[in-house]
Amino acid sequence: MKATALVGLLCAAAGDYVVSSASVSTLYPHVPLVFWSDRPIFNSQNAYLNAVLGETEIASTLTNVLARDTAKDAGVNVLSKEKVTIDETEALCVFLRQNLRTDQIDEFADGKNPSFIQQAVTCKSKSSVVVPHTTRKYTLRKALKDVAKPTFVSINDINEWIASPAGAELLTNNKPDLLVIDVPQSMQLVEADKAIEAAVTALSNAAKGRVDFALTGDEGEPAVVKDPFGRRLASTQNTTSIVCETGYLVGFSGGKAFCFSHYVHMTPHLLTALLFGFFFLFLAYVGLTVLHGIQTPLRYPHHGPPKGKEF
């Protein structure tokens, strides 16, 4: 009896340990990576890529964009595969905010008017790419220093830097350079959007249009959640601090954010095929029901048929 009780106690303790271990999880919010340019250098206009990139992959992608290396970019597909003759870029300008989540992109807008970032990606650029689901475990700044030699400038000092000899040389030396423009965390997103717009205009004029742009975050803010499954179910209740488990993506519907594991592109052809398929199943169901009603007698007589007329 004592042995049975001891075994039960050990099993209960082990179960509590497993539950407590599974119910605590460190989640990292997704960080957006946005490219846009007035030149046909990127995949297409407002291209949506579902690649999940870390710091090292992002740094490699930026260097590939800078060198226009389509062979190394084959796994991500940020660059355009069409052979077009354009001038070599003077600089790839990356606007880098310390913390930036994917669900904060809408907060760049001032009221009901779309933000400059949204307009640049959707309609005001010749090519643009959105990679909404990048991750951070350490700063992107460190990864960039390991693979490239970027120039760091604060967005508050961008006009002075452009007018300086260093800025004039970088934007006119006929060589592709990586320019990282720091956006202070203390700056509100609406203010940051206006500052980015002014910086884009100034850099484009200084480089005579031979410049491409990107926006992303330097690091992610990890959140330790006791019950990640319950958090995922309740994620639509708080859109400003939503985080998802590794392998899950952030989506938005009706102004609310949610976590999902995969997505399907619903094209007009797929929708038409589904409608025709459901219509065929409906006709088959109606036909089988009518046929069953014809072949199955609805009423049986109490006495059999007369002799000689059984058939």
CA–CA gap between residue 238 and residue 101 (Å, rounded): 14
Contacts (Cβ under 8 Å, ≥6 apart) of 129: 34, 35, 36, 42, 43, 44, 47, 49, 78
Looking at per-residue pLDDT, the higher value among 158 and 133 belongs to 158
Upper half-sphere CA count for residue 196 (Cβ side, 13 Å):
30
Residue type, 75: G
The domain segmentation of the chain, as residue ranges, is 27-260, 268-296
As given in the structure block, the two tokens for residue 250 are: 């952030």
As given in the structure block, the two tokens for residue 189 are: 């997103």
Kindly provide the b/e burial profile for residues 73-89, where b requires at least 16 CB atoms within 10 angstroms of the residue's own CB.
beebbbbbeeeeeeeeb
Q: Which helix (H) or strand (E) holds 178?
A: strand 177-183
CA–CA gap between residue 55 and residue 280 (Å, rounded): 49
Write down the pLDDT at residue 194. Answer: 94
Positive or negative, the Cα torsion across 156, 136, 72, 130?
A: negative
Name the most confidently modeled range: 244-253, 262-271, 277-286. Answer: 277-286
Mean residue pLDDT of the chain comes to: 78
pLDDT tens, residue by residue, 23-82: 455 555 788 899 999 988 888 877 888 777 888 899 998 988 888 888 888 778 888 887
The residue whose two tokens read 């992608």 is 61
Kindly provide the b/e burial profile for residues 8-32, where b requires at least 16 CB atoms within 10 angstroms of the residue's own CB.
eeeeeeeeeeeeeeeeebebbbbbb
As given in the structure block, the two tokens for residue 5 are: 């009780």
Say if pTM beats, i.e. exceeds, 0.75.
no
Write down the pLDDT at residue 44. Answer: 80
CA–CA gap between residue 34 and residue 13 (Å, rounded): 48
CA–CA gap between residue 80 and residue 29 (Å, rounded): 29
